[in-house]
Chain A
Amino acid sequence: MIELLQVPSLLTVQDLGRTGYRKLGVPVSGVMDEVSARLANYIVGNPDNAPVLEFLLAGPTIRFNASAVFVIAGDVGVKLNGVPIEPWRSYWAKRGDVLEVGTLRSGLYGYIAFAGGIKCERLLGSCATYTRAGLGRPLKAGDRLTLGYVLLTGKEGRVLPRELRPDYLAKEKVIRVILGPNLDHFTEHGIETFLSETYTVTPESDRMGYRLDGPAIEHSEKGADIVTDAVPIGSIQVPANGKPIIMMADAQTTGGYAKIGVVARVEVPLVAQSRPGERLRFKAVSVEEAHELLRRREKMMTAIKAFLNGELRAYRIKTGGEELIAFAEVEKE
């Protein structure tokens, strides 16, 4: 069991979300940054969907009431019993140890994964917190969480090399989107504006959606409102003021603003990790291109998982001044 001593900002239990209930108005929820959360789970030897702690900007202080193996995913300073330790590396904590997670230097959401996952009440098939409907609640100081039972040996001391960690430091992020499905609500000029201008993430952004500021996107004579229909995660709605809103994990399942595009799934973590003030540009891609990008990412995720499990070896190679990681199979005896 672990006990939360300090919780400086939004801290929730999340998994990869709740599917199958969207037609009843229940949002998917789940982690904002799928990649970081899954990598954290791989490092401690968990399956992809094991529940993790998600913190917004500043991490909690945690006391271990039993030994456990944990990892922090994020660009953040961490201390175990006052001694600095590294993120993206798994450690063994003993009973009584205190873990202090600092404030993210880049990115917006950080993750803490424990070997065996976090025990939680699965509601509608998921541990994802969606406060508004009483599906879990934000955690506060004094809360205790039970960890899943697991053989801890061998799960500690695993590290994700720097080259394989997500990098959310880009000055201007290019987000690939699939245009539509309500393109007829925009003028050609409006679509052109959307694809050529730069948009800034505003402070009015949360797990439900990221509001952007930038040149107004022009609607056609059909206007900004549509007959209410569904809202996939990543949908870019444009209300009458012409300023886009990107719908995120906790987004309502249906909505009445025209959607100019939907962020390719592979880019959703990049959007999620964009802080207020950061700038985004949009680039149109086809559905097929988006699928190809997704498949490539999953190949990489599979390789990283195998590497962390000791089934693949990783080599640093230098090509054209760039350092890359190459994987090779570990020979079996």
Chain B
Amino acid sequence: MAKLHVSTTINGEPMEFLCEPSDTMLDALRGPLALTGSKEGCASGDCGACSITLDDRLVCSCLMLAVESEGREIRTIEGMAHGDKLHPLQQKFLEVAALQCGICTPGMLVASDALLRQNPRPSEEEVRFWLAGNLCRCTGYDKIVRAVLETAAETREQGTRESRQ
């Protein structure tokens, strides 16, 4: 069977790629698109290491067909920093050591960002339930949860400061 042609937008850039009908979005990202920041830990949607957003909705890219990205907007870990400026979540993860081996980190960051976009003031419990789809075997989650809560608090503070100016 011939490959399918897909036109999509990834991290704000128009992109085109070819894929098999059965390829997942994760296959396409890691294969023809050479965006290997999204990781495959399980291929069954249970570990969250391949988390991306599809039209601002958090999804496991291993559970989505590559062809489903046609005409849609995808965001991956590669689109999180602005040039050489890290996203506040990325900066905070570094500062509080919210990563050890780092394999779950891209998915954790994408999921945390999606949470803060829709709920800038999450409780610890909300963070824990939101991130329950992202497995981490190294950190015990403690520092990850702290990083998300601290980023939320600081972003709100900064927002308040900016709105006062």
A and B found bound together: no
